[in-house]
Amino acid sequence: MLDEPDLESIFASPELPKIAEVINSKLAAERQARLRFRRELTPSVKAEFIAGEVVMHSPAKAKHLRVTRRLLKLLDTFVHQMNLGEVFSEKALICLTRNDYEPDVVFFGAEKASTFSPDHMEFPVPDFVVEVLSESTAARDRGVKFEDYAQHGIREYWIIDCDEKTVEQYILRDQETRYHLAQKLAGGSIASLVVSGFEIPVAAIFDDQANADAIANQFG
């Protein structure tokens, strides 16, 4: 994100009209490419549209799928039992101002979720996002997505590392557009600040027995 002095320098430049022309041309081309991406995207493909480029995703490794499944099971069960909204995994296309993403796990509060029809395919800004790191996605998860999610007011963002078995919990403070690291955990329990009442052992994300125990203890 450009700081105010950088913007002032651009605004004062004699080249501003030319800069604006280049930017507008670039964004117009992106809009057309984005429409084409959405038309051609099929349910069988996981892909994202980032800064004018289509990013195709390779099949996920077992460790990634297992971690995603365990968290999804816990979060989805809790959200539906408490009637808090809707949880989706992997294929929900969230459409931000410039980019389209398919996060690993997303939560929408009840108000937003109530607007989704059975055929809904292009989703608004979620309230909570989780990305599970992989070799091919880590740079984006910590880079453009980290910045974009914050800029769009997604109040809570978890980054899960399958290899380190850690969860990083990032939150937006009031009136801020940059994430604050609330905590990085390799054990103990983690409580969501957005999904009211949702608290789980960190181990339940990485271990099947701990996951089953958490479900039995919290939802049994």
The verdict on residue 86 lying in a domain is yes
Domains of the chain: total: 2
The C-alpha atoms of residue 66 and residue 57 are separated, in whole angstroms, by 17
CA–CA separation, 105 vs 132, rounded Å? Answer: 9
The parent domain of residue 20 ranges over: 1-40
Q: Is residue 52 part of a domain?
A: no
Kindly state whether residues 100 and 157 are assigned to the same domain: yes
Q: What is the pLDDT of residue 97?
A: 96
> Reduced to 3 states, what is the DSSP secondary structure of residue 206?
helix
Task: Please tell me whether residue 210 adopts helix, strand or coil conformation.
Answer: helix
Token pair for residue 22? 């280049």
Name 17's Cβ contacts closer than 8 Å, sequence gap at least 6.
none
| Whether residues 105 and 212 fall in one domain | yes
Distance, CA of 178 to CA of 147 (rounded, Å): 7
- The answer as to whether 49 is a domain residue is no
Q: Residue 7 domain-assigned? A: yes
Contact criterion met (CB below 8 Å) for 72 and 89: yes
Q: Could you tell me the two tokens for 13? A: 């430049």
pTM confidence score: 0.91
Residue with tokens 């979060």: 75
For the beta carbon of residue 205, count every other beta carbon within 10 angstroms. Answer: 27
Closest residue by Cα to residue 123 from 144, 151, 146, 103: 103
Measured N-to-C along each axis, helices 16-40 and 4-12 cross at an angle, to the nearest 10 degrees, of: 120
C-alpha to C-alpha distance for 150 and 131, rounded to whole angstroms: 14
pLDDT score for 220: 60
| Predicted pLDDT at 15 | 86
Report residues of the chain scoring pLDDT below 50: none
Give the pLDDT score at 50: 97
